[in-house]
Structure 1
């Protein structure tokens, strides 16, 4: 129930002249951007959590020689998430991560200049403090939810504390990737980029919190990476960044490239179209040449990890995976299905012209 029903004078748009109400579409755009951004962050963290489990399974399998754990704790499967910035975005992001990943409260830390404003999250067990450097040195995934003006000083505080393997996920849209790379002296950075259509179909709602919105099947489907419903469009270079970030996690754990391909197939292709059952050869599979050029692949030893990828370059330049992804609509459909199913939502035949079958991510699919 909307408590403002019937109380027109208390509503946001009350008092705005008719000739200026056109600009109210910006309110819907802002909300759509928030919902999409949080949804994509949840999806990434879900993948990271599942990946850790798959690597752990790999390490305990009979062919455990496919993984070298030199200098790494094989039981370290916890995804530690830090958030710098406790404003509206930081608070909403923390709530959706806790409920929808779901992330344990002890696996989330926040840094903000006003920790007292996060009392609700502290009651849930989230550590909230004003210590950017401490959160950055602890986190495996670090979300930047601060204002652009605050970012330079924050980067000075944290750049020496970041582990090479920490994935920095920036929501600071006004600071481009090359600038962020210089500020942090770090290459393991993901930054989603969004654009907007002129015609805004405001399906995002008005008063529900972001967590509830992402549990609405209609809104959730609109946040799919390839969807332009609602007027907010994600640049799919983000998907490439996600793939190469996953590969970097495996490289940091010294997983041989042959095992990484098996893990990628299990992680991203656990949901299948009906056509895959009818013709197994039509089901997408990942190969080395999808991620590296052919000349490099020829000289890659079998028992070696992938090289370390600069995620900035991945998101700014054409890659082998760019070409593969754009040329393979079937893979795009699989990724769309995976995104929805990870939130517990399936697509209708009208939304995708194939039925969906789900294959649990167990067993060797390499």
Structure 2
């Protein structure tokens, strides 16, 4: 127990005049934004780890008749995660990835101007340096957690180092996606977009992000379709996650028929009560949900999906946009799967699984 917790004079709000305390809502908004951002980043990495397990035959998933990628070389494609920016967000994200995904410390690399400030992470085995180009050429998933003013120079450093398959995940909301595409000369980019509305602050104040994301109530509030807490995720991010997963499979030359099976295993493996009673009610992904009919007619059966521009996916309507918005049962499945990925139930009354420390 911290004996300083109840000392009013040491609290953030103490020195703020009464007439200016209205602005304290921004503190809760900032906390909620960071909590949701870290949760969604962890969820994305969890998906990629699970996808890798499915692709690399932990349960006999890969069939040589339906996939043609080199399994031996694919085994080397471990989830290597890089973070550019070692400020508050970068450090909190690193701890969340280590504890809540979890990403092995040797598979995490942070680049920052002051690597000496990350001594605790270095003790855990995380590589910390100030070498952006080397990190960019090494990472399979790259999180941008720098300041907007720093981003143009960083992009100039790394744009020729990124592999086409590297998934860039930007937290720099001030830089629009088309601008980021030009700066990096890269199309495999995700950037969550959040909106705000007035709501009660449920995000907590004194916990680290990794500890906050052990709280079932907070985790439920981070669900993509949840508006609790006043921070609302633009669902185009969820669509981009699907197409990012497809791009991973395309980079490994997995046939589209097998990719659809993987998508069903990855996103629809947890069933609603209605689906348990009648399996025909459970949605299934088909080609028409991701591509237009004209392209499908010209797609050979033993071919991978085409490579998708994730920038276009997030800025334009896609076949999957229409399918997702018109299928509430799929939205319910994805909410259930999201909660299950963190080991909690969807509803409070159902109880929750105890999360690991």
TM > 0.5 between the two?
A: yes
Q: In 1, distance between residues paired with 2:349 and 2:288?
A: 33
Distance 1:180 1:334, change over 3 A: same
Equivalences for residues 1-366 of structure 1 within 5 A: 1-57=1-57, 63-69=63-69, 73-197=73-197, 199-348=198-347
Query: Residue 359 of structure 1 aligns with which residue?
Result: none
User: What are the superposed Cα offsets for residues 49-69 of structure 1, whole Å, 9 maximum, x if unpaired?
Assistant: 000111112996683131122
Change (3 A) 1:348 1:180: same
Q: Deviations over 1:91-137 (max 9, x none)?
A: 00000000010110011011000000000000000000000000000
- Is the CA contact 2:56–2:62 (under 8 Å) kept in the aligned structure 1? no
CA spacing shift, 1:62–1:177, aligned 2, 3 Å: closer
Question: How far apart, in 2, do the equivalents of 1:324 and 1:196 lie?
Answer: 26
When the two chains are superposed, the root-mean-square deviation of aligned CA atoms in Å is: 1.8
Q: Structure 1 residue 278: deviation in Å?
A: 1.2
CA contact (8 A) 1:143 1:169 kept: yes
Answer whether contact 2:54 2:62 (CA < 8 A) is retained: no
Contact 2:189 2:310 in 1 (8 A): yes
- Which is worse superposed, 72-81 or 273-282? 72-81
| Alpha-carbon distance change, 57 to 71 in structure 1, aligned in 2, over 3 angstroms | closer
Match of 1:66, SS? coil
Q: CA deviation at 1:17?
A: 1.2
- Judge conservation of contact 2:136–2:162 (CA < 8 Å) in 1: yes
Quickly say closer, same or farther: Cα 1:277–1:215, change in 2 above 3 A: same
Displacement after TM superposition at 1:294 (Å): 1.0
Q: Number of residues paired by the alignment?
A: 352
Quote how far apart the aligned CAs of 1:15 are. Answer: 2.0
Change (3 A) 1:194 1:40: same
Deviation per residue, 1:297-345 (Å, 9 max, x gap): 1111000000000000000000000000000011111111111111111
Q: Give the corresponding residue for 2:355.
A: none
- Provide TM-score, normalisation by structure 2: 0.95
Q: Deviations over 1:186-235 (max 9, x none)?
A: 000000000000x2210011101101111001111000000110000000
| Contact 1:148 1:172 survives alignment (8 Å) | yes
Instruction: Give 5+ residue unaligned stretches, structure 2.
Output: 353-357
Q: Secondary structure at the match of 2:225?
A: coil
Unaligned runs of 5+ in 1: 357-366
Runs (4+) of structure 1 exceeding 6 A deviation are none
* C-alpha distance in structure 1 between counterparts of 2:220 and 2:304, whole Å: 35
Query: 2: distance between equivalents of 1:204 and 1:63?
Result: 44
Q: Distance in 1 between matches of 2:321 and 2:349?
A: 27
Deviation at 1:76?
2.4
Q: Which stretch of structure 1 is more off in the superposition, 28-37 or 57-66? A: 57-66
1:249-275 C-alpha deviation (Å, 9 max, x unpaired): 000000000000000000001111010
User: For 1:246 and 1:62, how far apart are their aligned partners in 2?
Assistant: 16
